[in-house]
Amino acid sequence: MCGIVGAIADRDVVQLLIEGLKRLEYRGYDSAGIAVVAGEAGCEEIRRVRRTGRVAEMEAAAASEAFTAGTGIGHTRWATHGGVTEANAHPHISHGVALVHNGIIENHEEQREKLRALGYEFESQTDTEVIAHLIHSFLKQGDDLLAAVQRAVGELTGAYALAVVSRHEPERLIAARMGCPLLVGLGEGENFIASDVSAIVQATRRVIFLEEGDTAEVTRDAVRVFDEHGAVVEREVHVSDVSLASLELGPYRHFMQKEIHEQPRAIADTIEAVIDNKGFSASLFGAGAEPVLADVEAVQILACGTSYFAGLTARYWIEAIVGIPCSVEVASEYRYRSAVANPKQLVVTISQSGETLDTMEALKYAKSLGHDKTLSICNVPESAIPRASRLVYYTRAGAEIGVASTKAFTTQLVALFTLTATLAKLRGRLSPEQEGEFLDALRQLPGSVQHALNLEPQITAWAERFAPKQHALFLGRGVHYPIALEGALKLKEISYIHAEAYPAGELKHGPLALVDADMPVVVIAPRDSLLEKVKSNIQEVRARGGEMFVFADLDSHFGDSEQVSVIRTPRHVGVLSPIVHTIPVQLLAYHVALARGTDVDKPRNLAKSVTVE
């Protein structure tokens, strides 16, 4: 969601804050702002620049103000409370205290009333401004900035990551975290605060991840972390392996394009541990995983969006290969219903970011029901969801910047397939021959994905035909049905074409009524046991004048004909076919969006890492 950066240094931090915000922009891009403590010692003041729109616009405004400062904070916003206006953009200021906030304060109305009664006036519609005034109200009672922030957060319910500065205490930054990620970066004679390490990686890789309820006092030379009771605590220092190159576009036009093309490498990195291990074993999921996984009798997968579709795909694998029941549920639904706990059920959360609030809350709810077999499949080390889970499998996709998830999805599928094979082996349902076959399939996967990527020129030509359309249907059957869902989601989120996916057999039960010459129908038609059924479904569409775009395996024996255009993916790769068939639907969405001229990496209304409900 929103992005936070803060810095305190002997040098000017304005440009550093702006560069940090540019790297965080994928987290939210409605508006951006910075506030710094500027001026001669003894007469400091808060200088602030905010703009709606992109960081670049705010940067231009800051350049014209030409101020410099050694202490400051910055923010990119994804609007929750209050529209996209300059007044609602962060930082918010109360009498010399400036603050940026990620998250949602649930009791902001109540706090607002109390603060109004104390004489505070509100300039914005945000929940954040409440925190600024609350901190000031404690400063007025004689607290210093650290104590005022600690008391203020004690009054809040909801989720927050905060960075705070004051003109009265220019020599420190204060950070606080509950429910939203925040870290402290450790430099030489300078220190930082950030919502993720990408914001400060040009300055340092040494970071402390704040824990729930922590506050931190950050000066140039020291960092002190306090737990939720206000006691000083030591938190581990991590050295991040995020590379600057992974945060830069290189020769690509968009991060989404780069990330689609990185998939052979991302998959190879994700399966490396399995290949090195020469087989599937519980140890791939962390120390002590064997007793947790050995007696699993059912699987419950919880996730959102694209990660949910990865879970839907895995259900086909788990039930067919492991032979145990698997349910998959959207996390935001699971967390609010009376679910039945089963101590032998493995609860698997899937999250690229590891900080999606709905998924995190669903995990907490599952744990509160008594589930203690929990596994997180995640792409971001040390993020909240894996930290709250007993077992972890990290996908190694690398930083995913494009808002539309691509390489995270295919690596999640690889991780879920590894889980499937491991559970099957633990239950005595994987013969050594089959294990060898699965390992071979995984080894060959990066090559098959590369072949699918080579279809890009043909898919680009199709995209021109899609671009003028308003609606599209995606069809798949069996384990490829979730891939149809993923294709439809990709198309709608970045091209704004309304797209829906159906199991191909479901078409005649209603959606066929939508089919006419203006409704392109994308069909995923691999050479599997359902191919003949899919071919019949295609005839149903054809008889209604629909135009079809079929992704068929080389050995599916599909020919182009009137109304039916075919792109042949590589030969059927067997059980991992859904992963290979994901590539063409990603490329289609990307090129249709390009042809329509939308902002591919930052689609309207969306943001990466959804840390609000």
Tokens representing residue 47 in the block: 């200088």
Residues in Cβ contact with 169 at an 8 Å cutoff, skipping those fewer than 6 apart: 144, 145
Question: How many whole angstroms separate alpha carbon 473 and alpha carbon 520?
Answer: 6
Whether the CB-CB separation of 448 and 570 falls below 8 Å is answered with: yes
Q: Give 307 or 582: the residue with its C-beta nearer to ligand F6R.
A: 307
Instruction: Name the residue nearer to ligand F6R (CB basis): 281 or 586.
Output: 586
Please provide the size of the chain in residues.
613
Closest CA to 537 of 445, 458, 467, 475: 475
Q: Measuring CA to CA, how many Å separate 76 from each of 80, 174, 356, 483?
A: 13, 18, 18, 32
Residues that bind ligand F6R (CB under 6 A): 304-307, 351-353, 356, 359, 404-405, 489, 493, 609-610
With H, G, I as helix, E, B as strand and everything else as coil, classify residue 140: helix
The residue (of 17 and 331) whose beta carbon lies closer to ligand F6R is 331
Residue with tokens 């999606």: 356
The residues that bridge with 329 in the sheet, in sequence order, are 302
Judge whether 2 counts as a catalytic residue: yes
Using the structure block, give the residue that is written with the tokens 């200021």: 93
Q: Closer CB to ligand F6R, residue 224 or residue 492?
A: 492
Cβ proximity to ligand F6R: between 93 and 260 the closer is: 260
- 509's CB contacts (< 8 A; 6+ apart) are none
Whole-angstrom Cα distance, residue 438 to residue 575?
8
> In terms of CB distance, is 304 or 392 closer to ligand F6R?
304
Amino acid of residue 443: R
Tell me the C-alpha to C-alpha distance, in Å, between residue 359 and each of 258, 332, 353, 356, 561.
Answer: 27, 7, 10, 5, 45
Please report how close the Cβ of residue 597 comes to ligand F6R at its closest, in angstroms.
20
490 is catalytic: no
Q: Where does 223-275 show beta strands of DSSP type E?
A: 223-226, 232-233, 238-239
Residue placing its CB nearer to ligand F6R in the complex, 415 or 430: 415
Largest interatomic CA distance in the chain: 81
Cα distance between residue 420 and residue 414, in whole Å: 10
Q: What is the smallest separation between the CB atom of 325 and ligand F6R, expressed in angstroms?
A: 24
Smaller CB separation from ligand F6R, 404 or 534: 404
End-to-end C-alpha distance for the chain, whole angstroms: 11
Residue nearest to ligand F6R (CB): 305
DSSP 369-432: TT---EEEEESSTT-HHHHTSSEEEE-------SSS--HHHHHHHHHHHHHHHHHHHHTT---H
CB 350 within 8 A of CB 416: yes
Nearer to ligand F6R, 318 or 331 (CB): 331
Report d(CA 21, CA 36) in Å as an integer: 14
Q: How far apart are CA 314 and CA 579, in angstroms?
A: 11
Spot the catalytic one: 2, 180, 304, 378: 2
Q: Give me the catalytic one of 258, 373, 407, 608.
A: 608
Segments of 153-196 assigned E as strands: 160-166, 173-178, 183-186, 191-194
Report in angstroms how near the CB of residue 352 gets to ligand F6R at its nearest: 4
Q: How far is the CB of 304 from ligand F6R (least distance, A)?
A: 4
Annotated catalytic sites, by residue?
A: 2, 608
